[in-house]
Structure 1
């Protein structure tokens, strides 16, 4: 029998992500969970949870230890692994997605379109990656 003495389970909830529509397995998928005040500005949120995962293995992801509450998720398919969403004339050249899969018109969605509640028991989100170019 293997004991768990000294190991404690991660605090917080678990978020299961299903990612659909990656056009290839090149590069990485960058994920960022943020609160309202930092929506679309991941680096500015001290409470953010971010991950970078190989695109080849990014179809199903579990993020554990997420504090329950209201969150938004931003995803970028960083095909060239340069750590940012590349744009051409203001339009994204790489894939992107958001929690709750809002309709994308002119510009990014509002926080109200992408926010979701993460209860203490955990939750799931399915994100469809969109490519404009």
Structure 2
């Protein structure tokens, strides 16, 4: 009986420490650096949006967690997002060559400007789903690469 009580107390102490350490790690504000490569030219800007769920991904501007557009100065082009909690995210990026703030497409809906998604999923006839582009932010610094595609 005493031995069982000691094992239970020891187990509770270990689990308590694990719960505390996971809780402490989940409280950080992480930084995500997205390296964008494959730019066709340096015209215009690159716009990147980060989503915390599948709702609205990839094009609903009202569901974007953070968005930023950056003038193209270098290739590959780094874009940084700050103050991210631990969790799953997905990023959608496009090369806004004419600086109008939208991903321009033709009458059939095919993009006329470069675009890409986190995890670089294969794109054929539709935009990527959140589950195909999702990645985990689990530390203070996360780096990903996105390769732009042009049709």
Shorter chain as denominator, the TM-score bin is 0.7 to 0.9
In structure 1, distance between residues paired with 2:66 and 2:87: 13
Alignment of 1:51-130 (within 5 A): 51-57=68-74, 59-88=77-106, 89-130=108-149
Tell me the SS of whatever aligns to 1:56: coil
Structure 1, residues 47-67: CA drift from partner, whole Å, max 9, x if none? 611101002246122222222
Higher strand share: 1
- The root-mean-square deviation of aligned C-alpha atoms, in Å, is 1.6
Q: Across the two proteins, how many residue pairs are aligned to each other?
A: 121
What are structure 1's unaligned runs of at least 5 residues?
1-10
Higher helix share: 2
In structure 1, distance between residues paired with 2:142 and 2:115: 21
Quote the offset at 1:18 in angstroms: 1.2
Quote the offset at 1:44 in angstroms: 1.8
Structure 1, residues 56-80: CA drift from partner, whole Å, max 9, x if none? 2461222222222111100010000
Larger radius of gyration: 2
What are structure 2's unaligned runs of at least 5 residues?
1-27
Structure 1, residues 6-33: CA drift from partner, whole Å, max 9, x if none? xxxxx61011111110011100100000
Structure 1, residues 73-92: CA drift from partner, whole Å, max 9, x if none? 00010000011001012110
In structure 1, distance between residues paired with 2:135 and 2:48: 15
Structure 1, residues 94-118: CA drift from partner, whole Å, max 9, x if none? 0000000000011112211101111
